[in-house]
Structure 1
Amino acid sequence: MDEERFQAYLSLIQELLSCTSGKQPEVLNSHQDLVDGGLVQMMQQVAEWLAKEGNKDNAEFLTNVAGQLAKTLGLSSTSPTSSQLPTADSQFNFLMEVLRATAKSKGNPQVVYPLLQTNLDQIDDNLAVLLRDWATAKLAEVEPELARRIAIDIVNFSTLIQEFPRGSRATNLEIAMTGYEVVGTVFTRKAFPVDWATTQNNLGNTYGNRIKGEKADNLEAAITAFQAALQVRTREAFPVDWATTQNNLGNAYSDRI
């Protein structure tokens, strides 16, 4: 499933959930190019997540729509299951599982890395898209304290996958970068200056090591992030962190094109 179609599925599902009752067939008819087994699969995954979050009404609605579409498409005579779908994609469930493991273990690599190792097939560029879409929506809808806890888990996961020695190094860095960027709505300089500075430093390291994109652009982004971190990580207030970020900044300048 390519990134553009993945995002299109999520947008269509959101449109179905937010439209006026009875308008769902009209919405689906206007997006016939997206009505396929992949959409059914994505509906099931979102429904499972909604159910776990306690949003039973929307979960039941999506499950019913997925069942109706599956019958129409000839995928199943009853409510579809993942094994019946031609484009089974369990990335959403995997993302939720790895974030729960990260939260429960407080970012312990001995707990999280085996989970990543056994799910290497789930770690691709679509996972970064899914993380961004889910986290953006989730962090905006929950109470500030819960948003902070979720943001901490995302940062811990991003740090772990940034250093994960298996799979695609380029992809791992993209996922980490996405995590650091998406928590910016919670870890602002004003509300959480220390967390903000730490995230900026981590983001700078990710851009500095980034494989995708233009190297010159990545280095400029890294320098900008390190300079931002130093606004909080001063020599007087945080001498060790200041020295670390200064060293990172120096390395970025030495590689600058």
Structure 2
Amino acid sequence: MDEQRIEAYANLIQQLLTHPDEVNEILEANRELVDEGLLQVMELQAQLFAENDDQNAQNAAKFLRHLRSQLAEVLEISESSPSNNYSSEDYFNFLAEVLKATADSNGDSKVIYPLLQANLDKLDNNLADTLRNCATYTFSEVETDTAEYMANIIWNFSARLDDFPLGNKANNMEIVIAGYEAVLKVFTRESNPEDWAGTQNNLAAAYSNRIRGNKAENLENAIAAYHLALSVRTKQDFPMD
């Protein structure tokens, strides 16, 4: 799901919230956006509203979830993952929990690893997609300082998961890659050169260790990311690296 489409979903959701009496007309006028991706973004937005104690936000969360359920029936999309009994909301809640634990513990593996171990069955492609989509959508909705704070949390989580010895290694690497690629939407070469270079370096290592995908393409991605990192992390600027 690319940023442009996520933005289109967000605009559609805003229309639905602004004109709840015109839901059918709005959806009909935007039929090309009514798909599983829209349902995912609706759940993300509903979760954000649900975390707000304001009654209007709570009402918006209920409205979106009710509409989401109706659309899922029309589209004949299961609320649960085809490979397990977890819904997209379950994945979002787990992601929120593990990111909060990462933030509260400053990335302490002694705190994060027991949580991951208790949820090994959620460490899969669905979580990678949830992380990618949640980060992309949230980064577009918050101020720069908040985005950078969240990017640091995702970076720490990705680094800890990269070293996590349990679970399916192939799944773990997909989540790690999704995390680092999400972080790079915030840490750019211009705004955060050191963080950008460090993330590129970690992403290169992740692609080098990736199990899924084409080996040649993974290697090309790894080399490209290493070169990007080295374009900033020169011996002159970082003599200890």
Structure of higher RCO (CA pairs closer than 8 Å, 6+ residues apart): 2
Change (3 A) 1:99 1:55: farther
Equivalent position of 1:155 in the other structure: 155
Alignment RMSD, CA only? Answer: 3.4
**Structure 1 residues 25 and 57, CA gap change in structure 2 (3 angstroms):** farther
TM (normalized to structure 2)? 0.77
Counterpart secondary structure, 1:239: coil
Tell me, in whole angstroms, the C-alpha distance in 1 between the residues paired with 2:201 and 2:43. Answer: 38
Q: Give the equivalent residue in structure 2 for 1:24.
A: 23
Contact 2:41 2:133 in 1 (8 A): no
Gaps of 5+ in 2: 74-79
Q: Which moved more, 1:197-206 or 1:122-131?
A: 122-131
Do the aligned residues in 1 keep the contact of 2:201 with 2:226 (CA within 8 Å)? Answer: yes
Q: 1:44 to 1:220 in 2, by over 3 A?
A: closer
Q: Which letter maps to 1:18?
A: Q
Structure-2 separation of matches of 1:148 and 1:114? 26
Cα deviation for residue 87 of structure 1 reads 6.2
The alpha-carbon deviation at position 147 of structure 1 amounts to 1.1
Q: Offset of 1:49 from its aligned partner? A: 3.1
Q: Which residue of 2 aligns with 1:15?
A: 12
Q: 1:129 and 1:67 mapped to 2: Cα distance?
A: 23
* Distance across 2 between alignment mates of 1:28 and 1:91: 26
Matching residue of 1:142: 142
Return closer, same or farther for 1:69/1:125 CA change in 2, 3 Å cut-off. Answer: closer
1:179 maps to: 179
Question: What are the equivalent positions in structure 2 for 1:1-257 lying under 5 Å apart?
Answer: 15-19=12-16, 21=19, 22-26=21-25, 46-53=45-52, 57-64=56-63, 66-67=65-66, 88-89=87-88, 90-241=90-241
Q: Aligned pair count?
A: 220
Q: Which runs of 5+ in 1 are unaligned?
A: 75-81, 242-257
Higher gyration radius (CA): 1
Shift of 1:107: 0.7
Q: What is the TM-score when the length of structure 1 is the normalising length? A: 0.73
1:44/1:173 CA distance change after superposition, 3 Å: closer
1:23, CA displacement in angstroms? Answer: 2.0
1:220–1:44 Cα change, 3 Å? closer
CA contact (8 A) 2:204 2:226 kept: yes
Q: CA deviation at 1:165?
A: 1.2
| Distance in structure 2 (CA, Å) of the matches to 1:225 and 1:70 | 41
In 2, distance between residues paired with 1:161 and 1:135?
A: 17
